[in-house]
Structure 1
Amino acid sequence: MSFRLRIFLLVLVVAVTAIGATAYLTISLTYREAARVDAARDRHEAAIVDTIRAFGIRNGQWIGIDGVVSELSASTGLHIRVETPDRLVVVADSDVLDKRKVGPVQLLSRQVEPAPDLDRLITAAADQVSMAAALAAGPQDPLLRKIRGARAPVATPAMPGLPDDLFGPIPRGEPDAQALYQLAQYRAALTTTRCMADRGAVSPALALTTPPYLDAGQLAAEPSCATSATGEVLGDRAWLAQRWRDLSRCRLAAAAFDECLANEFAQAALEVSAVPVEVYFGAPESPGIGELSRPAGYAVAGVIVVAALGTAWIARRVSRPVRLLTGASLQLAAGRLDVRVPHGNVADELAALSASFNSMAEALQRSEERQRRLIADVAHELRTPLSNLRGYLEGLADGVIEPSPELFASLHEETLLQRRILDDLQVLALAEAGDLDYAPAPADLAELTEAAATAHRAVAANAGVELVVDAPEPVVVHADPDRTRQVIGNLLSNAIRYTDAGGRVEMRVRRDAQGALLTVRDTGVGMSPAEVARVFDRFWRADPARQRATGGSGLGLTIAHRIVADQGGTLSVESTPGLGTTFTVRLPSF
């Protein structure tokens, strides 16, 4: 299977799967389920919230809410989740209870505060008093006689009343005083049911959500629990006093008195009842694939077609550059270093890969050309002096040339020149291979410059060139002293060599923000821009006619450039024809 076909099939499968699943879920399921959940929530939300709230009021805790939530979910077809407001604790989840995969819920929730409604409590208490008074009067009305025969409301026993000193001058009939009484009665009722639950008499739940909360059966089961609970509440004077202070502060609210009183009552009731919760709604399960509508199916089919066309285009875009790169790499391996891959101006990964291949091929081609030029340059440099030596030796052997001390001195000078060329080639080879030894240490660049100038003063004097050194202060660099002296010597000898008699060579040492700076400036023949670009090439000379007279090998600047670069510095050159040349060495300071 070709690479193009593999890419096509891979992208096609991924695109069809991802886009098809996304279209199926978003077009068919999400909208439909959202609409179904909204409709079911509108019908059943109020009843669900009231049922959960009534459970919290009657139980004073959420233990046992699982069964209520499961029944509500089964009857309404909704996924119901009850959580604490901080969403850290899930009190009940219908999907978990029914052992289904837990589905998502809507972000909009309903808060449930399981506290009795103060208005309803006061109204119910007033109705009980009115009914009890009517029954005690013994009326002859048939309706009242019927009510008298029914079970009369039962007040919480052992709740004779709150201490008078809590209220001060405020009458007991005021709303805040009634709220305190209802709060105490609710706490006493909850305490009674918990006492009875501990004794195993009945389930820990109030029979009613309004006073008197407990029915006759609960009171008859464990009357001592009711008595002890009432005594506990009435005896907790600190709690009663704090609640009374909270409730009575609402008198300062003026027009907002009723709202303030209801809020304070609810907050106080929540301290003895269950904690508030949030109720979330969602869908209990996802519909099957059979519910996928025809429009949704058409949409999925259209997406698949688009994905197929798109992946075919992508496969073609990918495979063509790969084929070109493969062919070019084979030609490059066969020795065709001029092969290149067209990549255009497209800014993508494949175009970048093609451009990188072309850069690699150009680098290989330049390296091959440099190698060929090096071989040709070495052959040229050695051919002429060896031919001269051979001619002189053959002349001496045939007796054509008479031996003389001057002739032997000339032949010896030629051999020294060839030895110097070979030594320079060896140093350059080691430097380019990274095998040239360095011993970096703190060294004074000014002192090294003075030493190099001292060694070349005689040569400069013989050439009629003035040599000046400007190094007013020590400049310490971290470099190999011997190699650095070799660089300075090469630059200085080169400057003297290309400066005519009466000229001047100036060496300056300074320190700047980037490090140490050494400049070697001469007033020689100078170089053109084209010559400056080649000044560090092997065996290149600005004036080839001078090389035999001066003995230069054409490798000194190449070696100097490599040594400076190996020590973390730079060597640059500026030149103007007829005015002179300036070499600048920059090294890291110590």
Structure 2
Amino acid sequence: MSFRLRIFLLVLVVAGTAISATAWLTLSLTSREVIRAEQAREQHQAEVIAEIRRFGVRNGRWPGVDRVVADQAVATRLHIRVVADDGEVLADSDTIEGRTAGPVQLLPQAVDPIPHLDQRIRELAARRAKWVPGADPSAELARANGKPLSEKAAGPRPALPRDLFGVIPAAGAFTEPAAQAFHQVVRYRTALATVRCAADSGLGEPALALDTSPYLSEQQRAAAPGCLRAATSKVLADEPWLEMAWTELSQCRAGHPVYADCLGARFVSAASSTTAVPVEVYFGARQGTGLDGLQQPALIGAAALLVVAALGTAWIARRVSRPVRLLTGASLQLATGRLDVRVPAGGQDELARLSASFNAMAEALQRSEERQRRLIADVAHEMRTPLSNLRGYLEGLADGVIEPSPELFASLHEETLLQRRILDDLQVLALAEAGDLAYSPVPLDLAELAETAATAHRAVAAAAGVDLVVDAPERVRIEADPDRTRQVLGNLLSNAIRYTDAGGRVELRVTRDAHAAILTVRDTGVGMTAEEVARAFDRFWRADPARQRATGGSGLGLTIARRIVADQGGTLEAASTPGLGTTFTVRFPATPADAAATLSGVFSRRARREMNGR
């Protein structure tokens, strides 16, 4: 079982246990909270509704009701939400307390914040009512709410006193319950206008002190006499509203069996134009429970879950930390230069593969270090022999042992140029392997480039008795650096001519396929074995050890050529048969236009073959 699978299974067990425990706790606590919320709602619903209604009556509007909702939610431990008749949420106790609003019951409680008709007026109206044999009070009240109970009006609108909050006159029109109800409606509207004026002037809160007539306390009337006078004048001057209120109340005929109930309903209708809009109150369970809701089984389950998580975490930490410690120690030793350090890599899990990757990296570093050392040794070897020759000749000339001659100086000069060429090749190779070799790619014709390179080497080939031919029947476009590409062609042609005996042949061919431009240099020289082909691109390696530098080159040309081709997106490969010759194949990416032309040509030739077959 892999390490990843073991961790997955352990996490799955821990997660499953946690989810099960959480689900059980959630269901248990939720059911208990629902039962508690239902009991609390039944116990405190009437109280909450009364408080919200009292706020609406005393304020005549709903701004500020959130304070009442918050206080009631804390006192009753219920979730309370107040919603206007248009669906706007006016207050939500969960939102007020900074929590996400929880669910509430679907059936709300309606709150109509309209003051009640004074009980004294209702009792007076009830005494004026007369029972009619066979009358149905419910039907009569429905008729009273729909249309007048008599064809003639109850009388003219009574004249209101200038002091609305004084003693109600005991004579005249105010002896009638309808006139007293009218006086109460006007009082309520005037009281609301007074406290709002006082609040705007900074003289008090915008709420009535009383929720029954006269609504304003003596302190409120004394604190803002100017507001009281202004409100009284404003209400008494509103003739359309006064007429509307009296028309509502005068629909109830005195002496009717349902006179008191009709007057109460009409009072509500008349006062509704002044009060706040009706609202609906929803109840739900308050969000959030404390640790006191956890029972003994829940505590045992939580403790067991913690134990399982601790054991699993300890096992994972031990399983992961040991190979990590080994890797850390090995990396520190590797940094100090111990390239032979390795770590155990047993198993098939991810940590084992990480250890194997570390070992592979250390192996690669060790091989790189060995290659670097071999390179230094090769460079020292390549430079030691010619420098020793130069030193011997110069010492002989200085001691008079060797006679100076033009031929000797020419030989020494040629040896110096060869050392300079080796140094130049080493510099180019270093730049290429470091990625610092500059390229200037331009569109060029590979066939034309091959012809130019062949022309430059024909004289050398003719001197060696080698036939150099070029097979480039069509133009092949590539994107490449012309100078670097000529350097590659020059190296391949020089090697082919150098390792081909007199009477042999070197063929330079340019073709293309759907994806690449192909350049091949084929000779009929001595050839190479498979082992020699594998080492053909190594530094300072020569296929024929008997050849000297003057005829065998520096041993860096193929290495540089392969790097130049690779940097331009191509490949350089070699194939050879001993005694028959060697072929070097260079592939460059074809340009899009050239590739499209090649595909078009392939399809055209295929179509012609099909037509001829028919």
> TM-score per shorter chain, which class?
0.5 to 0.7
Secondary structure, aligned partner of 1:455:
helix
Are residues 1:507 and 2:535 paired?
Answer: no
Query: Could you tell me which of 34, 41, 48 is aligned with 1:38?
Result: 34
Counterpart CA distance in 2 for 1:553 and 1:447 is 28
**Counterpart of 2:571?**
571
Structure 2 vs 1, CA of residues 331 and 204 (structure 1 numbering), >3 Å: closer, same or farther? closer
Secondary structure, aligned partner of 1:581:
strand
**Counterpart of 1:357?**
358
Counterpart CA distance in 2 for 1:471 and 1:580 is 23
Secondary structure, aligned partner of 1:110:
coil
**Counterpart of 1:485?**
486
Structure 2 vs 1, CA of residues 153 and 276 (structure 1 numbering), >3 Å: closer, same or farther? closer
The answer (yes or no) to whether the contact 2:484–2:564 under 8 Å persists in 1 is yes
Counterpart CA distance in 1 for 2:81 and 2:533 is 82
Give the drift of 1:573. 0.5
Counterpart CA distance in 1 for 2:150 and 2:564 is 105
Instruction: After TM superposition, list the pairs within 5 Å mapping 1:224-263 onto structure 2.
Output: 228=241, 231=244
> What TM-score do you get using the length of structure 2 for normalisation?
0.59
**Counterpart of 2:543?**
542
**2:456 corresponds to which letter in structure 1?**
A
* Structure 2 residues without counterparts, runs of 5 or longer: 1-10, 113-121, 152-181, 197-205, 216-231, 249-271, 593-614
Give the drift of 1:556. 0.5
Are residues 1:305 and 2:318 paired?
Answer: no
Query: Could you tell me which of 270, 279, 285 is aligned with 1:282?
Result: 285
CA-to-partner distance for each residue in 1:435-493, whole Å, 9 max, x for gaps?
A: 444455555544433221110112223342332141633625252x3223212211222
Query: Could you tell me which of 470, 473, 476 is aligned with 2:475?
Result: 473
The answer (yes or no) to whether the contact 1:571–1:586 under 8 Å persists in 2 is yes
> What TM-score do you get using the length of structure 1 for normalisation?
0.61
**Counterpart of 1:119?**
none
Are residues 1:80 and 2:80 paired?
Answer: yes
Counterpart CA distance in 2 for 1:216 and 1:88 is 31
Counterpart CA distance in 2 for 1:64 and 1:46 is 25
Structure 2 vs 1, CA of residues 317 and 509 (structure 1 numbering), >3 Å: closer, same or farther? same
Aligned residues, how many?
472
Structure 2 vs 1, CA of residues 542 and 48 (structure 1 numbering), >3 Å: closer, same or farther? farther
Counterpart CA distance in 1 for 2:71 and 2:336 is 80
**Counterpart of 2:226?**
none
CA-to-partner distance for each residue in 1:233-280, whole Å, 9 max, x for gaps?
A: 999xxxxxxxxxxxxxxxxxxxxxxxxxxxxxxxxx9xx984876835
Structure 2 vs 1, CA of residues 435 and 576 (structure 1 numbering), >3 Å: closer, same or farther? closer
- Choose 279-288 or 305-314, whichever is displaced more: 279-288
The answer (yes or no) to whether the contact 1:24–1:296 under 8 Å persists in 2 is no
Are residues 1:583 and 2:596 paired?
Answer: no
Instruction: After TM superposition, list the pairs within 5 Å mapping 1:314-463 onto structure 2.
Output: 314-345=316-347, 347-348=349-350, 354-386=355-387, 413-441=414-442, 443-463=444-464
- Choose 42-51 or 450-459, whichever is displaced more: 42-51
Structure 2 vs 1, CA of residues 274 and 47 (structure 1 numbering), >3 Å: closer, same or farther? farther
CA-to-partner distance for each residue in 1:275-304, whole Å, 9 max, x for gaps?
A: 876835223663355x64333333333333
**Counterpart of 1:8?**
none
Structure 2 vs 1, CA of residues 385 and 76 (structure 1 numbering), >3 Å: closer, same or farther? closer
Instruction: After TM superposition, list the pairs within 5 Å mapping 1:1-40 onto structure 2.
Output: 26=22, 30-40=26-36
* CA-atom RMSD in angstroms: 5.7
The answer (yes or no) to whether the contact 1:497–1:550 under 8 Å persists in 2 is yes
The answer (yes or no) to whether the contact 2:515–2:589 under 8 Å persists in 1 is no
Give the drift of 1:529. 4.8
CA-to-partner distance for each residue in 1:358-377, whole Å, 9 max, x for gaps?
A: 34422321221111211232
Counterpart CA distance in 2 for 1:111 and 1:527 is 97
CA-to-partner distance for each residue in 1:111-132, whole Å, 9 max, x for gaps?
A: 548599xxxxxxxxxxx9xx99
Counterpart CA distance in 2 for 1:87 and 1:513 is 69
Secondary structure, aligned partner of 2:106:
strand
Give the drift of 1:558. 1.1
Counterpart CA distance in 2 for 1:68 and 1:283 is 16
Give the drift of 1:319. 2.8
Structure 2 vs 1, CA of residues 387 and 374 (structure 1 numbering), >3 Å: closer, same or farther? same
Structure 2 vs 1, CA of residues 284 and 377 (structure 1 numbering), >3 Å: closer, same or farther? closer
Counterpart CA distance in 1 for 2:542 and 2:150 is 120
Give the drift of 1:409. 5.6
Structure 2 vs 1, CA of residues 106 and 346 (structure 1 numbering), >3 Å: closer, same or farther? farther
Structure 2 vs 1, CA of residues 379 and 68 (structure 1 numbering), >3 Å: closer, same or farther? closer
Counterpart CA distance in 2 for 1:27 and 1:487 is 74
Secondary structure, aligned partner of 1:448:
helix
The answer (yes or no) to whether the contact 1:113–1:275 under 8 Å persists in 2 is no
**1:521 corresponds to which letter in structure 2?**
V
Counterpart CA distance in 1 for 2:544 and 2:583 is 14
Counterpart CA distance in 2 for 1:30 and 1:511 is 70
Counterpart CA distance in 2 for 1:585 and 1:363 is 29
**Counterpart of 2:91?**
91
**1:503 corresponds to which letter in structure 2?**
R
- Choose 452-461 or 278-287, whichever is displaced more: 278-287
- Choose 456-465 or 83-92, whichever is displaced more: 83-92
Structure 2 vs 1, CA of residues 83 and 405 (structure 1 numbering), >3 Å: closer, same or farther? same
Secondary structure, aligned partner of 2:328:
helix
The answer (yes or no) to whether the contact 1:478–1:589 under 8 Å persists in 2 is no
The answer (yes or no) to whether the contact 1:28–1:293 under 8 Å persists in 2 is no
**1:313 corresponds to which letter in structure 2?**
W
The answer (yes or no) to whether the contact 2:21–2:302 under 8 Å persists in 1 is no
CA-to-partner distance for each residue in 1:145-185, whole Å, 9 max, x for gaps?
A: xx9xxxx99967997999xxxxxxxxxxxxxxxxxxxxxxx
**Aligned sequence identity (%):** 49
The answer (yes or no) to whether the contact 2:440–2:480 under 8 Å persists in 1 is no
